[in-house]
Amino acid sequence: TKMAQPVAIEEWAEQNKDSFKPPICNKLMHKGQLSIMFVGGPNTRTDFHVEEGSELFLQIRGHMELPTVQEGKRKLVQIQEGHLFILPPRVPHSPQRQQNSLGLVIERSREEGEMDALRWYTDFQVCDEVLYERHFRCDDLGRDLVPVVQQFKASSECATGEKTETSIPPPPAAISENSSISVPDPIHLDTFVEQHMDTLSRGGQVDILRTLSHPDEEFSVSLLGGTSKQTHECKGDTFFYQLRGSATVQSSADATPVQMQQGMCLTIIGPDVVQVVRAEGSVGLVVSQRKSV
184-197 pLDDT per residue, tens: 999 999 999 999 99
pLDDT at residue number 115: 96
What would the mean pLDDT of 19-27 be, rounded to a whole number? 87
pLDDT at position 293 over 50: no
In this predicted structure, what is the pLDDT of residue 1?
A: 46
On the question of pLDDT at 137 being above 90, the answer is yes
- CA 283 from chain centre, in angstroms, equals 20
Q: Is the pLDDT of residue 2 over 80?
A: no
From 145, 150, 142, 147, select the one nearest 26 (Cα to Cα): 142
The predicted-structure confidence for 212-225, as pLDDT tens digits, reads as follows: 999 999 999 999 99
Separation in Å, CA 260 to CA 6, 32, 67, 119, 277: 6, 22, 35, 41, 10
Which tens digit of pLDDT belongs to each residue from 55-114? Answer: 999 999 999 999 999 999 999 999 999 999 999 999 999 999 999 999 999 999 999 999
CA 46 vs. chain centroid, Å, equals: 20
